[in-house]
Amino acid sequence: MKPAMETEAEENTEQSQERKGCFECCIKCLGGVPYASLVATILCFSGVALFCGCGHVALAGTVAILEQHFSTNTSDHALLSEVIQLMQYVIYGIASFFFLYGIILLAEGFYTTSAVKELHGEFKTTACGRCISGMFVFLTYVLGVAWLGVFGFSAVPVFMFYNIWSTCEVIKSPQTNGTAAVEQICVDIRQYGIIPWNAFPGKICGSALENICNTNEFYMSYHLFIVACAGAGATVIALLIYMMATTYNYAVLKFKSREDCCTKF
């Protein structure tokens, strides 16, 4: 029989080996986490949620403002109402697509990062793996360019609402004295091209314009468009991070595949 001290020493050695093995396993797992893709996924989900949620409500508020104040004839803004309704359905599609796309990109990040870290060495030399990575690189570049356009487009209503708000601030200014001077300050919404030039009244002046700026519809729509524009900007940043991460992973996989081919001969 072994002495008690030797038995205790062997148990301590086994426990230390188990701790060491568990620590190495944790380090190995942490090394396979695609932190860039993880950050980009969170930013992408947040940006798309802000853009779609706030944009949908802001569009509905914009239609209400136009119908109540700038275009009392339904036929004048019928086409605009249909376009906005179509845009709201597009927003539903964008939200669903990017929810799925973000999950797929995160999974692809885990796949390629594990291959780059040589945690799953059999994957890094397969043509299928490199083809999938290359496809995501191309698709992410295309979506990034598309979202730059979305970001620019979302800034248009912000600019329009800001002009209306700044005009109301001029009306409220103490420097603007007299009823005649106030009534000469106008906003013509027809110049933005969202309603036709024959729309009535199309132009609002003076105290009537100030009343529009004090309504909840205007206040909410203005700030929701700002948040939607910020969400589009966050999505663009997320896609830029995706671009860098997927391009780097693809380049490393390509390099390692050539390295493996050379070592076989």
Considering its fold, how many domains does the chain have in total?
1
Please report, rounded to a whole number, the percentage of residues in the chain having pLDDT higher than 90. 14
pLDDT of residue 23: 56
The 10s digit of each residue's pLDDT in 114-126 is 655 554 445 555 6
Distance CA 83, CA 193 (A): 13
The 10s digit of each residue's pLDDT in 131-169 is 777 787 888 889 889 999 999 999 989 999 999 898 888
Does residue 174 belong to any structural domain of this protein? no
pLDDT of residue 60: 87
Does residue 122 belong to any structural domain of this protein? yes
Structural domain of 69: 38-155+217-263
Helix or strand holding residue 205 (H, E): strand 203-205
Q: Which long-range contacts (CB under 8 A, 24 or more apart) does 186-189 make?
A: 187/163, 189/66, 189/70, 189/160
Does residue 208 belong to any structural domain of this protein? no
pLDDT of residue 265: 42
The residue type at 134: G
Report, as ranges of residue numbers, the positions in the chain whose pLDDT lies below 70: 1-33, 112-130, 174-180, 255-265
| Contact in structure between 141 and 243 (CB atoms under 8 Å) | yes
Does residue 117 belong to any structural domain of this protein? yes
Does residue 31 belong to any structural domain of this protein? no
Does residue 24 belong to any structural domain of this protein? no
pLDDT of residue 222: 92
Beta bridge partner(s), residue 19: none
Closest among 133, 139, 141, 56 to 93, alpha carbons compared: 56
Radius of gyration of the chain (CA): 29
Does residue 247 belong to any structural domain of this protein? yes
The 10s digit of each residue's pLDDT in 19-31 is 555 656 665 555 5
CA angle 31, 37, 41 (to 5 degrees): 135
Six-digit token string for 250: 């693809």
Does residue 201 belong to any structural domain of this protein? no
| Contact in structure between 204 and 249 (CB atoms under 8 Å) | no
Count the helices and strands in the chain (H runs, E runs): 7, 2
